[in-house]
Amino acid sequence: MFFHDKRTQYTVRVDKPDPQFARLLQQAIGGIEGEIRVCLQYLFPAWGNRGPAKYRDMLLETGTEEISHIEMLCTAVALNLEGASGGVIDHIVTANPVVKEIMGGMDPRHYLSTGLAAMASDANGVPFNGSWVVASGNLAADMYANVMAESTGRVLATRLWHSTEDPGMKDMLSFLIARDTMHQNQWLAVSEELGGIKGVHPIPNTFPQAEEPGEFNYSFVSTNLDRPANPGARWTQGTSVDGKGEFKFVHGAPMGEEPKLSPPIPEGYAQAEQMRSKDDSSSSTGSLL
Amino acid sequence: MFFHDKRTQYTVRVDKPDPQFARLLQQAIGGIEGEIRVCLQYLFPAWGNRGPAKYRDMLLETGTEEISHIEMLCTAVALNLEGASGGVIDHIVTANPVVKEIMGGMDPRHYLSTGLAAMASDANGVPFNGSWVVASGNLAADMYANVMAESTGRVLATRLWHSTEDPGMKDMLSFLIARDTMHQNQWLAVSEELGGIKGVHPIPNTFPQAEEPGEFNYSFVSTNLDRPANPGARWTQGTSVDGKGEFKFVHGAPMGEEPKLSPPIPEGYAQAEQMRSKDDSSSSTGSLL
Amino acid sequence: MFFHDKRTQYTVRVDKPDPQFARLLQQAIGGIEGEIRVCLQYLFPAWGNRGPAKYRDMLLETGTEEISHIEMLCTAVALNLEGASGGVIDHIVTANPVVKEIMGGMDPRHYLSTGLAAMASDANGVPFNGSWVVASGNLAADMYANVMAESTGRVLATRLWHSTEDPGMKDMLSFLIARDTMHQNQWLAVSEELGGIKGVHPIPNTFPQAEEPGEFNYSFVSTNLDRPANPGARWTQGTSVDGKGEFKFVHGAPMGEEPKLSPPIPEGYAQAEQMRSKDDSSSSTGSLL
Amino acid sequence: MFFHDKRTQYTVRVDKPDPQFARLLQQAIGGIEGEIRVCLQYLFPAWGNRGPAKYRDMLLETGTEEISHIEMLCTAVALNLEGASGGVIDHIVTANPVVKEIMGGMDPRHYLSTGLAAMASDANGVPFNGSWVVASGNLAADMYANVMAESTGRVLATRLWHSTEDPGMKDMLSFLIARDTMHQNQWLAVSEELGGIKGVHPIPNTFPQAEEPGEFNYSFVSTNLDRPANPGARWTQGTSVDGKGEFKFVHGAPMGEEPKLSPPIPEGYAQAEQMRSKDDSSSSTGSLL
Amino acid sequence: MFFHDKRTQYTVRVDKPDPQFARLLQQAIGGIEGEIRVCLQYLFPAWGNRGPAKYRDMLLETGTEEISHIEMLCTAVALNLEGASGGVIDHIVTANPVVKEIMGGMDPRHYLSTGLAAMASDANGVPFNGSWVVASGNLAADMYANVMAESTGRVLATRLWHSTEDPGMKDMLSFLIARDTMHQNQWLAVSEELGGIKGVHPIPNTFPQAEEPGEFNYSFVSTNLDRPANPGARWTQGTSVDGKGEFKFVHGAPMGEEPKLSPPIPEGYAQAEQMRSKDDSSSSTGSLL
Amino acid sequence: MFFHDKRTQYTVRVDKPDPQFARLLQQAIGGIEGEIRVCLQYLFPAWGNRGPAKYRDMLLETGTEEISHIEMLCTAVALNLEGASGGVIDHIVTANPVVKEIMGGMDPRHYLSTGLAAMASDANGVPFNGSWVVASGNLAADMYANVMAESTGRVLATRLWHSTEDPGMKDMLSFLIARDTMHQNQWLAVSEELGGIKGVHPIPNTFPQAEEPGEFNYSFVSTNLDRPANPGARWTQGTSVDGKGEFKFVHGAPMGEEPKLSPPIPEGYAQAEQMRSKDDSSSSTGSLL
C-alpha cells in the first residue's frame, strides 16, 4: 500500500520560468527514457516477482521513489509554464509573429489542453505507452532492462541539465542524475549477486545449452559483402565473454532453402491469377521471367 | 547498401502446421522482444554512430542478420497458417462451435487481413511501434539496450521453443536461441572493451560527477514505511559496483517543500472558483479543510 | 513524496486460479477504465493544480490510493496465472487441442512476455496510453472526467465481479466497487462545493457568455430528416439545466456557404489537372458535371 | 442513414490566414477534446443503445451535428493554411532562418503530407485514437462521459478563441462554444431525467449495494502520512452526495498481507537463482537482507 | 452539413446471433481496411480539396455514404452480441470451461467495456488510428489510396461473407461488397478522367522529370546476389507503363561512399571512448579490427 | 538472407547542415509515406506470397532496395544534425531566446534522445506504426497499396526537394524521386500483367459477382440533399470502368428499418432506467417525446 507526504523528495525551484524548457522536461516524464516508465518498470516486476523476496522489496522501494521523481518533474513543468503567463500567452492576442514563433517552440497543448500543467507525454506530445514497461519474469533480463533504463535516463538528464541555465533546474537535475547513478549501481549489484556476467549469461541460464546448435552460439556471422578476414576483434576470437564458448568468425551464408508456400486457399479471395499448382508457386534461380 | 539471397539463413520447416502457434510466433516478429525491434535497434544506431567505426560495422552486420531472422519467422508463420487451410477456415462455414473456439485461438486477422501470412504485429495483434527503437547516441547505454533486447528475446524464444512439439519449429528456434547467445556475448564484448562495468559506469561517463550531490549518488533510499535498519545488502554497504563510491542506506524523507503554483491565468479559462490570490493557492499542513 | 508498506490495502486472495480471468482483470489495470488511468488522472491534475489547495490535497490522497489498487490487481493477475502452472502451460507440450483452445483464451503474452505476471495493458493486450490522462486545468471539467472515470470503472468492476465465482476475487472486487462508490461521491462533493450544476455550467464558467451567439447556446438542433415537431422533451423546452437560458427546438439548416478553397500552390505538387483558376475550384449547386 | 448539404452549418471565414493557428485548430479536430471524438462518442452509443429510444435518437441527432463541426474546422484549417502559400512555403527555398522558425511553428505535415489541408491528428500531429470513444452501455456513465467531453471541449474552444484575433475565426469559435453550452445542458437533462445525482449514483445503480462492504463505500481514505484529523470537509462528514450513506474519514492502513507468489514455473525460463522453495519466495518484515 | 434518417441504408438482420462473428465484424469497423477509415479518407480530402469541385462533391457524397455503412456494421455487431445474452455471459457464472473458451473467442471488451455494443477498434481490439487517413493533396495519389482502401475492404468483406452462414449477415455483406465494387469503379473513373495511367504517372505529374537522373527512373535495380541476367520481364524491358521511359535491368551496386559522421558533440554526453578525431570515426575496408 | 555493403546506394552529401531539415526528412523515414513502411510493405507480402513466384522475387528485390533508402535518409539526418553542433546546441546554454526558437523548430528528441541521429519516427516525432504495413494476400490489392505508397512517397519527396536549397540534399532527393518513378511503374506492370483494370477489378476477382445484388454494384448513390439530377459524369452513366456493368445514378434512400436492439442484459449493469420491455426500446417516427 502507498502513502504520500505533501513535500517533494527534493527541492523543485524555478528561478526563471521557461515554457520551452517545460516542453523538454516532458521527455523525462512521459518519454521512453522517462520516469513513468521506470516507475512502472520497477513496480510491475515487483508485483509479479517470483524468486528471492529481497529483490522484490528493492524493486518496490525504488519504484516508489520514482513516483516522487514524476512528482518533482511535473511540478517543474508547471512552474516553468508560469513563464507563459506574463509572456507567451498574453501576447498571442497581438498576433505578433515573433511571439508566435515562441508558441511553436513550446508544446501548444501545455496551454490548449492543460492550462499550463504537465502531461503524460514526451517532448513531442506523444503519449506514454504501456508497452515500454518490460518485465520478463527473468530477473537477470529485467536487471539489464533496468540498467538500460537508468542509463538512457541519465543520458537524458545530463542533456536536460545542459539545456538550461536556471540554477534551480540545474540543482534539481543534478539530484536526479545522482539518483540515476545509484540506481545503475543497484541493478548492477543484483546482477553481481546473481553471478555476474559469467553467471547470468546466456540469459535465461535455465535453458539447457545442449539444445543450442554448437556451431552458431559463439560465432560472429559477418554479413559484409566484402567478405573480410577475421579481424581478430574481441568478439571474433578468444573465450566468449560468458566464459562458456570460443568466439569464431564466419562468413554468413544461407543454410536454408528458398521458401515454398502453398497456393492461396479459395476462401482467402486472392486474385484468380494466384491460383496455381503448388509447383508453380515457388521460384528457382532464373524463374524471374 | 543491402542485398538479398533467396534462400533463408537457416532451414524453416513446419512438420505439422498450427495456426495458433503462428499467433505465438508473431510476438517474435512484431512484439517488443521481437526481431523487427532488434533489427532497427542495431541499424539505427549504426547509421547514427559517432565514435570508433568498428562498432558501427559490427552493428551493421548483426542488424543485417536480424532482417534474415524476420524473414525466417514470417516464413514460419505462413507455413503454420497452412494448417488453417484444411482445418479452421474450411470449417467456419459449418458454424461448428468447436472450430470457432479454435478461431478464437488463432489471430483472426491472419485470415481476415492477410489471407494466411505474417503481420508486423505482436501475438495480440498490437502493431510494431517505432518508439521501441532505442539509440541514445551513448555507446555504453546502447550496448545495455542491446543486451536487454537479446535477453528478453532469448527468454521469449525459449518459451516459444517450449510451446511447440513440432520438430521443424524446435530446430529453427534452437538456431535463433543460439544466435541470441552469441549476440548477448557480442554486446558484452563491446562493454568489456569500453572498460567493463567500472569503466562505463555511471553512464554517461562524460558527465562530471563533481556536479552530482555526493550524498545521493551512492545511497539506497528506503521508502519502506517500516523504516527497517540497514539490511547489509550488497547495495546498501561496501564499495559501489562501479567502484566510484560507497553504498549507504538512508531512510527516505522529503527534502523539498510543498509545491506552490500560481493561480490560473485568466486566459486559461479555469473555473471562477480557482481564481484566488497566490497565497491561498497553496496548502499548509492541516489545510485540508 | 511517496512511501510504501509491503502489505496490500485489502486482501488479495485467489481460491481457484484462472488464467482467463487474469486476462479480464487486465482491463481494470491497463484499460481506459482502469486503475493506471485514474491514478495518473488524479495525480497529474494535483501536480498542476491551480486554485484552492484542498482540492489538490484530495486529489493527491486518492491518487495515492489508486496506486494501491493497481498493486492489488497486479497481484490478483499473478495469482490467477498460477493456474497456468499446473494447467495450461504444462500441457502445451502435449499439443492437446483442447488445452490450446484455453491458451487462446488467456493472453498469450502472460506466458510469452512476462512469465505469469501482469502487464500495463488492457484485456486485449493493447498497452496503456498516456493520452487517456485528462487534466484540463479547469477544476469542474476535471471533476466530470473523474466522475466519468469512476463510473465506467465501477461498471467494469461489477462486470468483472459477475464474471467470476471465486470467493476471494469477488471479495476483492466488492472492495474496489465500494471504493468507486466513495470516489464518485468525492468528486461530486467538489462539484457541489463549486456551485453544483447551476454554478459550474457552462464549463468553463469564466468565459463571458455574452460572446456566445444567443440563438445557438440553448437550442436543440435537430438533424433528423423527418423534420419532427418539438417533442416537448426536457432538452427542447423549459429552462435550461444550468438555469441560464431557455431550451428551444430548431431544425438544423446550413447557415454557411459552400467552402471555396484556393487552387493548390505549385510547390505542393498536386496533379496538373488540379491547377485551375480560383473560380473553377468551387462548385455551385449542379456543378457535379 | 446519413445525408449531406454542401453548405456548412455555420459560416467559416478566415480573414487573415495563419498556418500556426491551423496547427492549434487541429487539437479541436483530432485531439482527445476534439470533434471526431465527440462525434463517434455520440454515434457509437446510439448504435448500441439499449433502453429508452428517445436517448438514442438524441445521441444520433447530436452525433450527426458533430460531423458538421469537423467539417467546419477542417475547412478552417485549409483556409488558414492558405497563409502558407504566399508566406512560409515560398520562402523556404530562401533558407531564410526567420522563415524556418515559422515552419517550426506550423505543423510540417500540413505541407509535407497534405499539401495544406487538415489531418485526423491533434496539435502535435499525434493521430486520433479510437480508444477515446467511450460507450459503456450504461446510460448514466455515458452521460458523464459526454458532459466531460463537452466541458473539456468548451475549455479548448475558449482557449482557441483567445489565441486568435481573426474576426472570422472568433465568430466561428463563438458558435462552437455556444453549441458546447447547449450540449452540456442536453446531457445534463438526460441525467436529470434519470433521477439526478441521487437517482443515478452510484453508477451503475443496478448493482446491489448490499454486496459492497459498508465500511468502505462512503469513507474518505486519507493516505497522507501526516495523519491529519478529520478536516470536516464536505466529503469527510455528513450525508453522502448520492444520499445513500454517511461520509466518514479514516486513515488508510493496509488490511491485506504481503503478497506471496509461487516460484517460477520451469517452462517460464526464469534464472536458476529464482527457483526456490515457496517459503523463500516471500519476504517478511525485515527480510530485506 | 450532415443530416440523418433513422432508418439504415440497407437491411441489417441477424438470424442467429454469434458473438464471435461480432468480433470479426469489428475489423470492418475500426480496422485499417474498415469503414471509419474510408469514411474519413473521403471526407478529409474533400474538405481539403483544391482543384475541380466535382471531385470534392463526389468524395463528400461517398464519404457520407460510408458513415451509413459504419452504422450498419455497428448495428450488426450489437445484434450479434445478443447471442451472448442467452449464451456466453449467462454461463460465465457457472465457470464452465467450455463456455470460457468461447469467451476467449469473443472480444472480452464487448462485454466488459461496452455491455454488448460495437467499439471503434479492430478484430483484436486495437483502436482505430487516425494516421490511416491518407489525404495527400494530390488527387491522383488520393485516388490510388481510395482504390486500395476499397480493394482491401472488399477482400475483407468477402472473407467475412465466407465466415458466416447467417442469411441476414450474408445479405448485408453482399450489399457492402456490391458497394465496394462501385466505389472501386468510381475512383478509377476519376483516374481515367485525369488521363489514365499514362496521364497521371509518375505521380505527381507536376514535378519536372528533367530533375530526375535519367539512368535511375526506369531501371529495375536487382538486389539479388545471384546476379541474374535480365529476365525479360514486363518491368525490365520495353516501354515503361507510364509511356515516358524505357525499362532497363541493372544489377544494384553502391554508388555512394561509406558514411563519415563527425564525432559526438561534448554536450551529447556520449561515452568518453567515442570522443575521437574525425579521421578515426570512419572505417575503411578492413578497419573492423 | 540479407547482406550488406558499407557504401550507400547513392551519394549522401550535406553541404550545409540544417537541423530543421533533418526533422522534415524524418517524415520520409518513419512517416506513413516513408521508407520503413514501403520496405516492410514489400518484404512482408513477399514472405507471405502465394501465387506466381516471380512477383515474390520482385517484391524481395525492391524491398531490399528500400532498406538502402532508409540507410541513406538516416545518414542524411545525422549529417544535417551536425549543424546543431556548432549552432543550436552550443547556444542553448546562453538561454538566447532566438536560438531557443530554432530549437522549437528542430525535433528536440534529436538532441535529447539520440544525440544527433535519426529516429524511427515521423516529422512530428510520432513513432512508426506497424499497422501501416498492408499485405492482404490479394496480389492486385497489394499492387494498389504499393502504387499508392510510391505515389504519396514521391509527392513527399518532391516537397522535401522543394524545402531545401542544399545541392547535396537536392541531389539525393532527385535520386529517390527517380526511384519512386520506377517503382510506380513496376507495380503498374504487375497490374498490367494481371489483366489491367478490366482484368483485376473488382478486387478480388475471385468472388462470384452473382452474389452481389445487381442494383447496387454499379450505381452512384447520391447522398446530396439537393437531390440533383444525373450529372452525366463518367461515374454516373456509361459502361463501368471495369467493363462489367453500367453506371447508374440513384438518390440515396434508406432501405433498412430503424434498428431495434434488445434491452440490456442484467449482468451488463446498465442503469435501472434502461431495463424496459423490448417494444419500448425502439422508437418510431415521432417517438422522441
Q: Which of A153-167, C27-41, C136-150, E81-95 has the lowest mean pLDDT?
A: E81-95
Same domain membership, residue F48 and residue F150: yes
The fraction of chain D above a pLDDT of 70, given in percent, is 88
Report pLDDT for B84. Answer: 67
> Of the candidates C164, C198, C232, which is a domain's last residue?
C198
Decide which of B83 and B19 is more confident.
B19
The Cα of B261 is separated from the nearest Cα of chain F by a number of Å equal to 23
Name the band, by pLDDT with cuts 50, 70 and 90, for residue F84: low
Closest of F241, F237, F239 to residue F196, by C-alpha: F241
Q: Which residues of B touch A145 (CB under 8 A)?
A: 148, 152
Closest of A217, A198, A23 to residue A118, by C-alpha: A23
Decide which of C154 and A87 is more confident.
C154
CATH number of the domain where residue C80 is located: 1.20.1260.10
Report pLDDT for E4. Answer: 97
Residue B45 has pLDDT above 50, yes or no: yes
Give residues with Cβ within 8 angstroms of D143, minimum separation 6.
Answer: D187, D188, D190, D191, D194
Same domain membership, residue C239 and residue C97: no
Closest of A119, F225, E108, A104 to residue D31, by C-alpha: A119
Looking at the domain assignment, is residue A9 inside a domain? Answer: no
Same domain membership, residue B25 and residue B55: yes
Report pLDDT for B104. Answer: 55
Report pLDDT for E279. Answer: 44
The count of CB pairs under 8 A between chains D and E is 162
Interface of F with E in 106-125 (CB under 8 A): 111, 115-116
The Cα of F17 is separated from the nearest Cα of chain C by a number of Å equal to 22
> Of the candidates E150, E173, E198, which is a domain's last residue?
E198
pLDDT in tens, F195-224: 999 999 999 999 999 999 999 999 999 999
Looking at the domain assignment, is residue E114 inside a domain? Answer: yes
D287: nearest CA partner in chain A: A54
B168 with B21: CB under 8 angstroms?
Answer: no
The fraction of chain F above a pLDDT of 90, given in percent, is 82
Report pLDDT for E89. Answer: 43
Q: Do D224 and A4 touch (CB under 8 A)?
A: yes
Name the band, by pLDDT with cuts 50, 70 and 90, for residue E275: confident
Looking at the domain assignment, is residue A265 inside a domain? Answer: no
What residue type is F56 in one-letter code? R
Q: Do A47 and C128 touch (CB under 8 A)?
A: no
Looking at the domain assignment, is residue D203 inside a domain? Answer: no
What does DSSP say about strands B2-4 and F2-4: parallel, antiparallel, or unpaired?
A: antiparallel
Residue in this structure with the C-alpha cell 440515396, named with its chain if needed: F252
Name the band, by pLDDT with cuts 50, 70 and 90, for residue D104: low
The mean pLDDT of F269-280, rounded to a whole number, is: 75
pLDDT in tens, E137-178: 999 999 999 999 999 999 999 999 998 989 999 999 999 999
Report pLDDT for E106. Answer: 86
pLDDT in tens, A149-170: 999 999 999 999 998 989 999 9
C134 with C142: CB under 8 angstroms?
Answer: yes
> Of the candidates F164, F198, F232, which is a domain's last residue?
F198
Q: Does D264 touch chain A (CB under 8 A)?
A: yes
pLDDT in tens, D111-156: 999 999 999 999 999 999 999 999 999 999 999 999 999 999 999 9
Looking at the domain assignment, is residue F141 inside a domain? Answer: yes
The Cα of B228 is separated from the nearest Cα of chain E by a number of Å equal to 37
Backbone angles phi, psi at D72, to 5 degrees: -65, -45
Residue E20 has pLDDT above 90, yes or no: no
Closest of C23, A101, A60 to residue F20, by C-alpha: A101
Name the band, by pLDDT with cuts 50, 70 and 90, for residue B285: very low
The fraction of chain B above a pLDDT of 90, given in percent, is 82
**Distance (Å, whole) CA E177 – CA E28:** 12
A43 with C71: CB under 8 angstroms?
Answer: yes
C129: nearest CA partner in chain A: A129
Same domain membership, residue A189 and residue A217: no
Name the band, by pLDDT with cuts 50, 70 and 90, for residue D215: very high
Residue D198 has pLDDT above 80, yes or no: yes
Q: Do E124 and B127 touch (CB under 8 A)?
A: no
Report pLDDT for B83. Answer: 76
Report pLDDT for F96. Answer: 37
Q: Does B283 touch chain E (CB under 8 A)?
A: no
Residue D84 has pLDDT above 80, yes or no: no
Q: Which residues of D touch A212 (CB under 8 A)?
A: none
Name all chains with 3 or more CB-CB pairs below 8 Å to chain C.
Answer: A, B, D, E, F
**Domain total in chain D:** 2
Name all chains with 3 or more CB-CB pairs below 8 Å to chain B.
Answer: A, C, D, E, F
Same domain membership, residue E221 and residue E163: no
pLDDT in tens, A59-75: 999 999 999 999 999 99
Q: Which of A187-191, B85-89, B283-287, D191-195 has the lowest mean pLDDT?
A: B283-287
Q: How far is CA E239 from CA E197, E205, E246, E247, in A?
A: 13, 18, 4, 6
- C-alpha cell read off for D231: 478536516
What does DSSP say about strands F248-251 and E2-4: parallel, antiparallel, or unpaired?
A: unpaired
Report pLDDT for C104. Answer: 56
Closest of E129, E190, E140, E145 to residue E41, by C-alpha: E145
Q: Do C211 and D161 touch (CB under 8 A)?
A: yes
Report pLDDT for A104. Answer: 55
Report pLDDT for F101. Answer: 44
- C-alpha cell read off for B178: 543460439
Residue A21 has pLDDT above 80, yes or no: yes
DSSP secondary-structure letter at D241?
T
The mean pLDDT of C87-97, rounded to a whole number, is: 38
Q: Do A107 and D125 touch (CB under 8 A)?
A: no
Give residues with Cβ within 8 angstroms of B198, minimum separation 6.
Answer: B242, B243, B244
Closest of D27, B139, F192, D4 to residue E269, by C-alpha: B139
The mean pLDDT of D86-99, rounded to a whole number, is: 39
**Distance (Å, whole) CA B274 – CA D25:** 26
Same domain membership, residue B192 and residue B217: no
Looking at the domain assignment, is residue D94 inside a domain? Answer: yes
Same domain membership, residue A143 and residue A104: yes
Name the band, by pLDDT with cuts 50, 70 and 90, for residue A105: confident
**Distance (Å, whole) CA D282 – CA F218:** 69
Residue A172 has pLDDT above 80, yes or no: yes
The mean pLDDT of C25-50, rounded to a whole number, is: 97
DSSP chain B: -EEE-SS-SS----SS--HHHHHHHHHHHHSTTSHHHHHHHHHHHHHT--S-HHHHHHHHHHHHHHHHHHHHHHHHHHHHHHHHHTTHHHHHTTT-HHHHHHHHHS-THHHHTTSS---SB-TTSPBPBGGG----S-HHHHHHHHHHHHHHHHHHHHHHHHT---HHHHHHHHHHHHHHHHHHHHHHHHHHHTTHHHHHPSSSTTS-GGGS-TTTTTEEEE-BTT-PPP---TTTSSB-TTSSSB-EEEE----SPPP--PPPPGGG---GGG---TGGGS--TTTT-
Q: Does A96 touch chain F (CB under 8 A)?
A: no
C163: nearest CA partner in chain F: F267
Q: Do E206 and C272 touch (CB under 8 A)?
A: yes
Q: Does B267 touch chain D (CB under 8 A)?
A: yes
Strand partners, D220: D249
Name all chains with 3 or more CB-CB pairs below 8 Å to chain F.
Answer: A, B, C, D, E
- Grouping H, G, I as helix, E, B as strand and the rest as coil, residue C76 is helix
D121: nearest CA partner in chain E: E130
Q: Which residues of F touch B48 (CB under 8 A)?
A: 74, 77-78, 114-118
F56: nearest CA partner in chain B: B6
Q: What domain range is E96 assigned to?
A: 19-198
pLDDT in tens, B166-186: 999 999 999 999 999 999 999
Report pLDDT for D3. Answer: 98
pLDDT in tens, A197-214: 999 999 999 999 999 999
How far from each other are the two terminal CA atoms of chain A, in whole angstroms? Answer: 69
Same domain membership, residue A217 and residue A76: no
Closest of D52, D250, D40 to residue D133, by C-alpha: D40
Q: In residues, how long is chain E?
A: 289
Same domain membership, residue D71 and residue D143: yes
Report pLDDT for E157. Answer: 98
Interface of D with A in 203-262 (CB under 8 A): 223-226, 252-254, 256, 259, 261-262
- C-alpha cell read off for E71: 452504422
Residue B284 has pLDDT above 50, yes or no: no
Decide which of F88 and D176 is more confident.
D176
Please tell me the number of Cα atoms within 13 Å of F255 on its side-chain side. Answer: 16
How open is the CA angle B217-B219-B223, to the nearest 5 degrees? 120
Report pLDDT for D145. Answer: 97
Looking at the domain assignment, is residue F226 inside a domain? Answer: yes
**Distance (Å, whole) CA D112 – CA E230:** 37
Report pLDDT for F275. Answer: 86
Q: Which residues of D touch F27 (CB under 8 A)?
A: 108-109, 112-113
Looking at the domain assignment, is residue E5 inside a domain? Answer: no
Strand partners, C249: C220
Name the band, by pLDDT with cuts 50, 70 and 90, for residue E83: confident
Burial class (CB in 10 A: 0-12, 13-18, 19+), A160: buried
pLDDT in tens, B80-89: 998 764 444 4
The mean pLDDT of C248-252, rounded to a whole number, is: 97
Same domain membership, residue A91 and residue A218: no
Computed over every residue of chain E, the mean pLDDT equals 89
**Distance (Å, whole) CA B214 – CA B204:** 17
Report pLDDT for F235. Answer: 96
Same domain membership, residue C238 and residue C180: no
- Grouping H, G, I as helix, E, B as strand and the rest as coil, residue D42 is helix
The mean pLDDT of B126-144, rounded to a whole number, is: 97
Q: Which of A84-93, B221-230, D56-65, E111-120 has the lowest mean pLDDT?
A: A84-93
Decide which of D97 and E80 is more confident.
E80
Residue in this structure with the C-alpha cell 453508477, named with its chain if needed: D203
Peptide bond into B264 cis (omega under 30): no
Name all chains with 3 or more CB-CB pairs below 8 Å to chain D.
Answer: A, B, C, E, F
pLDDT in tens, F239-248: 999 999 999 9
Interface of F with A in 26-65 (CB under 8 A): 47-54, 56-58
Residue C181 has pLDDT above 80, yes or no: yes
Same domain membership, residue C164 and residue C122: yes
Q: Does E96 touch chain F (CB under 8 A)?
A: no
ipTM of this complex prediction, to 2 decimal places: 0.91
Q: Do B3 and F1 touch (CB under 8 A)?
A: no
Residue E187 has pLDDT above 90, yes or no: yes
Q: Which residues of C touch B287 (CB under 8 A)?
A: 53-54, 57
The Cα of F67 is separated from the nearest Cα of chain A by a number of Å equal to 15
Q: Which residues of F touch E245 (CB under 8 A)?
A: 181, 185
